[in-house]
Structure 1
Amino acid sequence: MEVTPEAPPADWPAVPALPDPATRRVVTSGLAAELAYAFGGPFHFLLPDAFTANLAAMQRAFADAGVEGFVYYAKKANKAAVFVERAAAGGAGVDVASAAELREALGHGVRGADLMVTGPAKDPALLRLAVQHGTTVAVDALDELDHVVCLASTGRVRPARVLLRALPATQPHSRFGMDDGELTTALERCREAGDAVRMEGFSFHLSGYALQPRADLAARLAGLCRTARLQGLPADRISLGGGLPVSYTGAAAWRAFLGAQRPAHYHAGRTFRTGDFYPYHAPVAGADALAALLAIRPEGSGRTLADLIGAAGIRLAVEPGRALLDRAGATVFRVQGVKERDGYRIVTVDGTSLSLSEQWFGSEYLPDPQLVPRQPAPAAGVFPACVGAATCLESDMLTWRKIAFPHPPRPGDLLLYPNTAGYQMDSNESRFHDLPLPPKAVIDRTDQPRPRWRLDRHFT
């Protein structure tokens, strides 16, 4: 059952993270402080048991709905090797979009047959590797299909496996996918390619997190599968893409924050449009969202998506990233300096906002950071503070919002940003100022009084 954390005073709207016992043990055991000392700078810690649990829950959602389904972990959400290893061990595949990601996945135990290659205008080297290893290619354009056919026609024993990516009618300005006319042409070319290509079905990806449009488009593509079969093509699979939401905070806290936040709550009066924030509370999230999607009745159908897909003999796939990484890691910085300014504090930490990527999308990573005092904390109170980076850029702020810390931040204290494994901790990192990238510590045993850790085995 979800426990809604208690919100601080209304004068300082907050986004308290949902409780996470594994993260709490890393702090209370002293391991976070030990790692900060060992690394001498910011670091991430990874909790792969959470990934394994999230994956198992999604697989159960398929089974409970009576649907033959398969989960591909969207590797772009986090570069760590341990999550690829857990995907392979858990019977999942990996969604990749570059030759480097494909090689990483193969090197960490994922079979070529369990890889999905996505993305637009794929590099020829990537397509060549995909065809060689029997990987499924989600074809984004007609010229890309021609390239795959050419690669597959040069003396190969087995056919190239492809899905045709559809342009959603509800998002006609997307730069991804093929429209109805292009899909018709693609089917003709797949049929003409004969044994060189195995056209296995269709794929799509919708922006946003609404479930009904996904069910509607999946139902439409099921009809296209029937059309393709009449033309002699296998067409027995549909990939629903990603977009399963994650819930970082409770419903009441999120509503209170959105209703109360204003420029005065941010350093320098910074303004954010609420529509630009990730929806940090989701009433139905992760595997529960997948189960809800399968239970939806597509528009014009009297049956659920699960029943419709089952009757058509179609297998479903999903490509979640963030949803598999829910509560699977956190990011830790050390406080380097604190200054007083206009009734609040400006905290400077030993890292940059490149490790909290929402900043670089013109938004803010909103779950409240946790202050971990280096020494016994003084009397509790409310001590608002924003968080800046150790760079020479005015705009390099980890947290523009004035966080209502329960103790005054001091140099040497730690700031722990919760639940950052999904896209936050490495998607935009760079060696700005020649600073090293924060290392990743894998916490293998959080069920022990003293958690065990090791460095992640990412190859590149």
Structure 2
Amino acid sequence: MTLLDMIPSLQPGIPPRLSPGIWPRDARYDSEGRITLGRVAVTDIADRYGTPAYVLDEAEVRARCRAYRKAFPRARIYYAGKALLTKAVAEWVSAEGLSIDVCSTGELAVALTAGVDPQRIILHGTGKSRDELEAGVRAGVGRIVIDSLSEIALLSTQLNRPQAVLLRLTPGIDVHGHPAVRTGVLDQKFGLPLGSADAAEAVRRILEQPLLQLAGLHCHLGSQIYDPDHYGEAVRRLIAEMAWIRRDHGHLITELDVGGGHAVAYRPGDAELNVAELADILDDALDAACARHRFPRPVLAMEPGRAIVARAGVTLYRVMSVKQVEGASTFVTVDGGMNDNLRVALYGAHYEAVVANRRPHGPQRTVTVAGRYCEAGDILARDIRLPVDLHPGDLLAVPCTGAYHHSLSASYNCVGRPPVIAVRDGYARELVRRETIADLLARDIGG
């Protein structure tokens, strides 16, 4: 128990603080005890647009883009659209000098509709269809990432002009963590194992195709990586592969894409990747590896997504009930859940939640924030501290929800997906409207 719990009267004189590691940098409490984002009170957003609602701080997204541009002034930085892609987000990151990584014809269409230069788009995907490859070629995307041997022939049939490609290799680097996000190890579905016969065959086949231009190699080690040394090791292994390709095929590769996966903090004290430290390690690794193999330094590329948008997002919920189970947990049920945040059920992710509509006074207790959906695993935050006087109608805010929330959202139980609301300089605007029952019924053409 803290001093504030023992002497509640001290609370009004001590303004509450929002952890700068997990909230947008301009998140504040106002004089009425309400949380504000982009100088907009979240209670006003909830009243106007309803809950649950995703709130996205535009200034935070842009600041994160600028931080990457400053740390890597000569690199090609592709924003990983799978983290969160709307037309507005595509416009913001493009205006800040970033390119965009897309993984489907839908993501490609969003980027193009937002006015992104096709040459600044890279097309990914581990099972790209003929239609997806055709769409990328037709749009004139700058790079297509080859993920399998069969994709080489499939892509070649779509071409009537040269197309730059990257070959995705798995370097055999285990960053640990949840199995679902370890993509750099050999036993998983992405790319081809570095040094394997299939990888050598892929190089040969690409170079045999007159309209395919092998511009670079690509890897992705996983997600939530906070140790930058893993990226340095990837650089060393891939530069060695580039040197082998030049020696055996006489072909000079000029680009090296080390993917993304940069860790962010979801709760105070969580480890996150230091971007400045990453820049130093990548620079040193490139210098050393290129000197060792007498290889010209390639253009570096990377694909941050979560690190750009995660902290910019906050999700708002209304408390529906507070239920104390005798001899067990206290459950705070809200009007959202796994439909708008699948990461807890999918990865066992951990989040914080705070009361957003008032400054709480008095003692707190440990609770579990549960969702409204018909699944026992529909949990948003386990064993967090919330006020004892929490009651239905209170507004909760969950920070660091900008990445893989809207993009993974669903309509389970026929509940429409939440809106995305942007805030900036005291104004709020709707980027994506709430999905309605009419939207759901429009797709159901049976009967």
TM-score (norm 2): 0.80
Counterpart residue identity of residue 360, structure 1 = A
Q: Which residue of 2 aligns with 1:24?
A: 28
In 1, the alpha carbon distance for the partners of 2:140 and 2:434 equals: 22
Query: In structure 2, what is the Cα distance between the partners aligned to 1:427 and 1:164?
Result: 26
Instruction: Please give the root-mean-square deviation of Cα atoms over the aligned residues, in Å.
Output: 3.0
CA distance in 2 between counterparts of 1:164 and 1:226 reads 15
Q: State the match for 2:135 in structure 1.
A: 129
Q: Deviations over 1:384-439 (max 9, x none)?
A: 3221222333332222x23222452111110100111022x223321122222110
Shift of 1:309: 11
CA positional deviation for 1:381: 1.0
Following superposition of structure 1 onto structure 2, how do residues 307-386 of structure 1 map, counting pairs within 5 Å? 312-342=296-326, 345-361=330-346, 363-366=348-351, 368-373=352-357, 377=360, 379-386=361-368
Query: 1:235-290 CA deviation, whole Å, 9 max, x = no partner?
Result: 20011011211134444xxxxxxxxxxxxxxxxxxxxxxxxxxxx323x43x2353
Distance in 2 (CA, whole Å) between partners of 1:55 and 1:125 is 31
Q: Deviations over 1:372-391 (max 9, x none)?
A: 246x75x4112332212223
Q: Secondary structure at the match of 1:71?
A: strand
CA contact (8 A) 2:255 2:299 kept: yes
Q: After superposition, where does 1:20-169 map in structure 2 within 5 Å?
A: 20-24=24-28, 27-28=35-36, 31-63=41-73, 68-135=74-141, 136-152=143-159, 156=160, 158-169=161-172
Contact 1:162/1:200 (<8 A) preserved: yes
Distance in 2 (alpha carbons) for counterparts of 1:41 and 1:125: 37
Q: Distance in 2 between matches of 1:207 and 1:40?
A: 35
AA paired with 1:421? Answer: G
Q: What amino acid does structure 2 have at the position aligned with 1:22? A: D
Give the conservation status (yes or no) of the 8 Å contact 1:357–1:427: no
Return 70-79 or 165-174, whichever deviates more: 165-174
Distance 1:30 1:190 in 2: 52
Question: RCO greater where, 1 or 2, for CA within 8 Å and sep 6 or more?
Answer: 1
| Structure 2 counterpart SS, 1:183 | helix
User: The residue matched to 1:409 in structure 2 has which SS?
Assistant: coil
Aligned to 1:258: none
Count of residues paired in the alignment: 397
- Cα separation, 2, equivalents of 1:166 and 1:8: 54
- Shift, 1:143, TM fit: 0.9
* Aligned partner (choices 189, 195, 199) of residue 205 of structure 2: 189
Query: 1:458–1:412: structure 2 CA closer, same or farther, 3 Å change rule?
Result: closer
1:406-417 alignment, distance < 5 Å: 406-417=387-398
Instruction: Give the corresponding residue for 1:391.
Output: 373
In structure 1, give the amino acid aligned to 2:307: A
Q: What stretches of structure 2 of length at least 5 have no aligned partner?
A: 6-17, 174-184, 436-447
What is the CA–CA distance in structure 1 between the aligned matches of 2:304 and 2:40, rounded to whole Å? 33
Per-residue CA deviation, residues 26-51 of structure 1 (Å, 9 max, x unaligned), is 82466311221222321010012112
SS at match of 2:157: helix
Judge conservation of contact 1:79–1:458 (CA < 8 Å) in 2: no
The yes-or-no answer on 1:200 pairing with 2:215 is yes
Provide the secondary structure at the position in 2 that maps to 1:165.
strand
Q: Separation in 1 of the partners of 2:127 and 2:389?
A: 51
Following TM superposition, by how much is the alpha carbon of 1:61 offset from its aligned partner in structure 2, in angstroms?
Answer: 1.4
Deviation of 1:315 (Å): 0.4
Aligned-residue identity in percent: 26
Q: SS at the partner of 2:316?
A: strand
Match of 2:8 in 1: none
1:321 partner letter = G
Q: Partner letter of residue 317 of structure 1?
A: A
Partner of 1:267: none
- What is the match of residue 413 of structure 2? 433
2:337/2:379 contact within 8 Å kept: yes
Moved more, 215-224 or 405-414: 215-224
In the alignment, what sits opposite 1:265? none
TM-superposed deviation, 1:168: 1.7
Q: Which ranges in structure 1 are unaligned for 5 or more consecutive residues?
A: 1-5, 10-14, 252-279, 446-450
2:234 aligned with 1:217:
yes
The alignment partner of 2:170 has SS state of coil
User: What is the letter of the counterpart of residue 139 of structure 1?
Assistant: I
CA distance in 2, matches of 1:229, 1:458: 51
Normalising by structure 1, report the TM-score: 0.78
Q: Counterpart in 2 of 1:239?
A: 257
> How big is each residue's C-alpha offset from its partner over 1:193-249, in whole Å with a ceiling of 9 and x where there is no partner?
12x111101001112524323222222322333444453545200110112111344
Pick closer, same or farther for the CA change 1:441–1:307 going to 2, 3 Å.
farther
1:65-88 residue CA offsets vs partner (Å, 9 max, x unmatched) = xxx311111111113332211121
Deviation at 1:457, TM superposition (A): 5.2
Mapped to 2, the partners of 1:305 and 1:248 lie a distance apart of: 34
Deviation of the 1:97 alpha carbon = 0.8
In structure 2, the CA distance between the partners of 1:30 and 1:458, relative to structure 1 (3 Å rule), is: closer
Which residue number corresponds to residue 15 of structure 2? none
Q: Which residue of 2 aligns with 1:290?
A: 278
